[in-house]
Structure 1
């Protein structure tokens, strides 16, 4: 758990962890320099349950992605999950995801869904685009949200030495899982993903009209610059480990970003079978409506 000024909702999340049906876990917490009661709350839970451990190393100012990547240096567990400070996990979340990934031998990640949770109200599911390969993940401008993921030791060891550009920790882990291993979707809702003004990640449009307006906006680009740089850095770092087919897909993605012609970009999409997760045609529509990159 990476914490920063999360005292308002932290106790509710920690209570949901203590209620997990799967009991054999350790919660490693690293605080990024909170000025509220976050650290005191974690210390109180640490006294109540020795599975809760606060990592006090004096490192601060990492940001959400940097804090989670920092935490990965301190775990030797065979499986790892990422816990946001403000969500609520259902009692069987850990047990269900452990079961989903336990038999995987190579680098692997698994995830389940969640409901958006705002002002005590449940709205839609948080994940509606499900990638399974480089072809349907490279253009996502995100990864599977970190708080939904469980990853195994092989995947952790793969990404832990990575010293390149990281857009978000979950993007890196999702990208590595589809490039070198397996990404598994467990079609169940196992948590509440809280929405509020202090969210570390971007606000999500939960209403249909807001999502349509966002999609139709011509002020957006198909490729987000931050994720483009992260994908480029991943490609450079792992080049020798990537298969020839994976290298070809990355190179086509980079050509798309630099291609001045809409029809040239459409040709790259069709030729290489690119799409956005399980949504056929969505990437082609975005290509027709938006600039490639800022």
Structure 2
């Protein structure tokens, strides 16, 4: 298939999204940027999702509806990518709402920053009963990460880009293998793999998507989004950065679970860092606990910090910077 140089293809995989699809599709039809195409892959829906799409865009030649048996979101998204014929593709989910200027502002950013392969955007979460403090905190955190350097710095904390906001160079996404299916969050694995393969990220400083929270959201119901799955995929992509020096993992029980997963990936810790004075002289998994001041000099060891207490990451960063450790060279935040 010949790739068009102009326009944007929106790729939207859906499985049983009929309840929210009408609003999502309406938000697409209201885009101020008009040179768009839409590829919807109906992933074996049984609730009439395909019929919703067909009714909404009846007679609109910009829209292609592909029906398949149920194979999962990764396979559906990859099929949509292959069906696209434009240089730029925009990811979309069936339960979210694009802001009217979404494509216009993201494509403008992409054209002004030719070094960028993936353009994300800021989000505004919403829910029928209002969003909780956790989602509000996550939105504020990832909305503040605008540059490639900031996004890469936070890569192992959480997913620092809202996946359904992504505008991507299609050839670059296909070159890194598209999406993978497995016992892991496919959006986070895709992000970490793209980053490891050298793709550059950016983010527009405006809200481009209203992100719907609801009880059936995959992040709430799909076992691939459980904490252990996130830790495992972090370990897979973090371990190659941690070889050649002693490794120390900073944090509590979650950090030690991550340390075991890093060991399984070929980056075994040499010790645990904990501020709790009761841990002094103790061992876990045969490894000693260290106080932060006992870490080796900068440049001779790696540190991975995995902490959940709000404000703890900033304190650890300050302590390590004070010792001369450089973030993403000598230490990484991973939680």
TM-score normalised per structure 1: 0.70
Give 1:23 shift.
Answer: 0.4
- Match of 1:21, SS? coil
Once the two structures are superposed, what CA deviation does each residue of 1:182-210 show, in whole Å capped at 9, x if it has no partner?
2112121122101101112348xxxxxxx
Aligned length: 253
1:89 corresponds to 2:107:
no
Counterpart for residue 211 of structure 2: 193
How much has 1:261 moved relative to structure 2? 2.0
CA-CA distance at 1:282 after TM superposition: 1.5
The yes-or-no answer on 1:45 pairing with 2:56 is yes
- Across the aligned residues of Structure 1 and Structure 2, the Cα RMSD in angstroms comes to 4.0
Question: 1:139·1:275 contact (CA, 8 Å) conserved in 2?
Answer: no
1:225 to 225, 232, 236: 232
- CA contact under 8 A between 2:17 and 2:95: conserved in structure 1? yes
Partner of 1:126: 139
Paired with 1:46 and 1:156, the residues of 2 have a C-alpha distance of 27
Give unmatched runs, 5+ long, in structure 2.
1-11, 222-226, 248-258, 264-268, 274-288, 318-332
3-state SS, counterpart of residue 169 of structure 1: helix
Aligned residue number for residue 23 of structure 2: 12
More strand by share: 2
Aligned-residue offset at 1:105: 3.9
Q: Which moved more, 1:194-203 or 1:92-101?
A: 194-203
Equivalent residue, structure 1, for 2:174: 157
- Residue 12 of structure 1: how far off its partner (Å): 0.7
Mapped contact 1:28–1:54 kept (Cα < 8 A) = yes
Number of the residue aligned with 1:144? 161
Contact 2:13/2:43 (<8 A) preserved: yes
User: In structure 2, what is the equivalent of residue 24 of structure 1?
Assistant: 35
- Check 1:48–1:198 CA distance in 2 against 1; reply closer, same or farther (3 A cut): farther
Inter-CA distance 194–26: structure 2 relative to 1 (3 Å threshold): same
- The answer as to whether partners of 1:28 and 1:52 remain within 8 angstroms in 2 is yes
What whole-Å deviation, never above 9, does each CA across 1:13-64 have from its counterpart, x for those lacking one? 10110010000011101111111121110111231422221013x34222x2
Hey, what does 2:284 align to over in structure 1? none
The alpha carbon displacement at 1:74 in A equals 2.2
Matched residues in 2 for 1:144 and 1:89: separation? 15
Superposed CA offset, 1:139-171 (max 9, x none): 234352211111113422322367686631354
Alignment of 1:176-215 (within 5 A): 176-177=194-195, 179-202=197-220
Q: Secondary structure at the match of 2:218?
A: coil
Deviation digits for residues 90-146 of structure 1 (CA, Å, limit 9, x no counterpart)? 110110011111244456111111111101747737251337348624423435221
Q: Which protein shows a greater Rg?
A: 2
Given that 1:5 and 1:37 are in contact with CA atoms closer than 8 Å, whether structure 2 keeps it comes out as: yes
Q: Which runs of 5+ in 1 are unaligned?
A: 204-219, 236-246, 287-291
Greater relative contact order (Cα 8 A, min sep 6): structure 1 or 2?
1
